[in-house]
Amino acid sequence: MMEDFIKWIFTTSHDPCEKQVHKAMELATKYNGIYYERKNLKNYLKNIDSYFVVNKNLTVDCKWKDGRLFFHPSVSKIRLNNYLKNGNDYLIESVKPDANDVVLDLTLGLGSDALLLGYFCREIIGIEASFPIYLVVKESINAYQFDELWLKESSKKIKIYHENYKEFIKKQDDNCYDIVYCDPMFENPQLKSNSINPLRKFANYDKIDKIDLENMIRISKKRVVVKARIYDSIWDEFQFDLKIGSKKSGVIFGVIEKK
């Protein structure tokens, strides 16, 4: 991908501590980027589209002129609380995770769905095509101060890889994951979604095609789950055994059970 050839910039927040500086320099080396001291960053900003910032809590943000991408568990906590209270969550109802399951999340994003699934299953393999999104989550999730023990434990179950899911699934063996989950960017997005909007600058907008779906089915043991909006073209292009969701939200989970 073209973004792999970009020299990413790493810096810190203002008045950094020694740990911040060390981590920013370490990340610059790890990802073949460039480290700039924060006090000197303004000298380069006119030539920089975006850059990574190590915060005082050692999480990492991606910033640009009028935006910021940062890791947070979003509504995972609320969703689990609601599920434990009333047994309702369309993602859990569709994926049906068991304690020993390994779930492949092909479109990790900020990991909100993966964190929720991690409460129920053994391991999540998260694939993220966008390097900025990948790096922010990969380098923040272990430093983030979760306020719930289950979220911290769930985060440890997530293994994150930077790759285009279309290429990744071609290389996987048959029946190697219990469930395959894919949540591509919607064709008809809800632009009022504050949790998703920061991702739009860097997100991958590839559509699922016939070969993708065949590979998802091939590498799954139990089922494939795809999330899309109710008016997206995927529902006309492919057959699903079950569709679960809300007409009010317009979000649907399509389920294909492995025969």
Greater pLDDT, 191 or 124 = 124
The model's pLDDT over 6-42, given as tens digits with 9 standing for 90+, comes to 689 999 999 999 999 999 999 999 999 999 999 988 8
138: CB partners within 8 A, 6+ apart: 160, 162
Tokens found for residue 40:
């000197």
What's the pLDDT score for residue 206? 85
State the amino acid at position 127 in one-letter form. I
User: In the predicted model, what is the mean pLDDT of the chain?
Assistant: 91
Amino acid in position 149: L
Please tell me the predicted confidence (pLDDT) of residue 190. Answer: 59
pLDDT at 2: 40
Cα–Cα distance for residue pair 205/10, rounded to 1 Å: 26
The pLDDT value given to residue 148 = 93
Structure tokens at 208: 């699922």
For the chain, give every domain's residue range. Answer: 2-58, 76-257
Kindly state the percentage of the chain with pLDDT values over 70: 92
Mean local confidence (pLDDT), 125-134: 96
* Single-letter amino acid code for the residue at 225: V
pLDDT in tens, 152-179: 999 999 999 999 999 999 999 999 999 9
Nearest Cα neighbor of 133 from 91, 77, 195 is 195
Give the model's pLDDT for residue 43: 84
Judge whether residue 44 has pLDDT over 90.
Answer: no
230 pLDDT exceeds 50? yes
- Identity of residue 88: N
CATH architecture of the domain covering 76-257: 3-Layer(aba) Sandwich (3.40)
Look at 34-48, 130-144, 187-201, 243-257 and tell me which has the smallest mean pLDDT.
187-201
Residue 121 φ then ψ, to 5°: -120, 180
**Residue 194 above 90 pLDDT?**
no
How far apart CA 195 and CA 197 sit, in angstroms, is 6
Question: How does pLDDT run across 235-254, given as a tens digit for each residue?
Answer: 999 999 999 998 888 899 99
Query: What's the one-letter identity of residue 9?
Result: I
Amino acid (1-letter code) at residue 162: H
For residues 188 and 231, the answer to whether their CB atoms sit within 8 Å is: yes
